Amino acid sequence: MKYKFEKPVNAGIGTGKYKCTITWRNGSFIADEPVSQGGEDSGPDPYTLLLSSLASCTLITLRMYIERKGWEIPEIRVNTNLYSEIKEGNMVTVIDRDIYFPRPVPDDQKLRLQDIAKACPISKILENQVTVRTFMQRDPETAKKIVYQNEEIAVIWRPELCQHATRCWKELPMVFRPKEKKWVDVDGAPAVQIAEQVYRCPSGALAIEKK
């Protein structure tokens, strides 16, 4: 397992309706709900963000392909929208993506670009299996703890808090080995690397004890 980003996209909200601050690798921006939903419309709403990710990925993918081909297409535009409906008791969501060119483009190039658009990375994510995993840290004070340590580092494991995110053993398998009884080998990697991995635990089941 290897995450897309070294640092996750972070979001926070206070008591104001319903302004969220989204922090990414190069800054931050505001997401909000429209006035009709009780927000202030001070930033794009979640549906707009979803559709904009597809639109931008489509445009970038097409531009990369056009540059490789050496075609003269100065501008590409995309409209995206969605609707949901109930079919046979299940919610079905359809996303429409309309690609157009302000200047004339030959039909053979248009057909090829239509196929390329379907292969953009966000399209592949949306049209294949997606699982959303949700984790939350709980109060560790009352949980039983097991300590694995050497002279440089002490790793605390609280089994009852573990939510099996699998980040630890998939990202640092030389230290975290779930098939073994003593599953944390603190000698398997430098202490700094172990600590960095422990801090990524979303449940609080793993922690570092200061020495």
Report the pLDDT value the prediction gives residue 142, as an integer from 0 to 100: 75
* Beta-strand runs (E) in the chain: 10-13, 20-24, 27-31, 77-87, 90-100, 146-149, 154-157, 206-209
| Domains of the chain, earliest start first | 9-44 (no CATH), 46-130 (3.30.300.20), 146-209 (3.30.70)
**44 neighbors 54 (Cβ within 8 angstroms):** no
The model carries a pTM of: 0.81
Cα separation, 24 vs 10, whole angstroms? 7
**What digits encode the pLDDT tens for the residues 155-209?**
999 999 999 899 999 999 999 999 998 999 999 999 999 999 999 999 989 999 8
Shortest CA distance to 198 belongs to which of 206, 209, 190, 189?
A: 206
**What digits encode the pLDDT tens for the residues 109-144?**
999 999 999 999 999 999 999 999 999 887 777 788
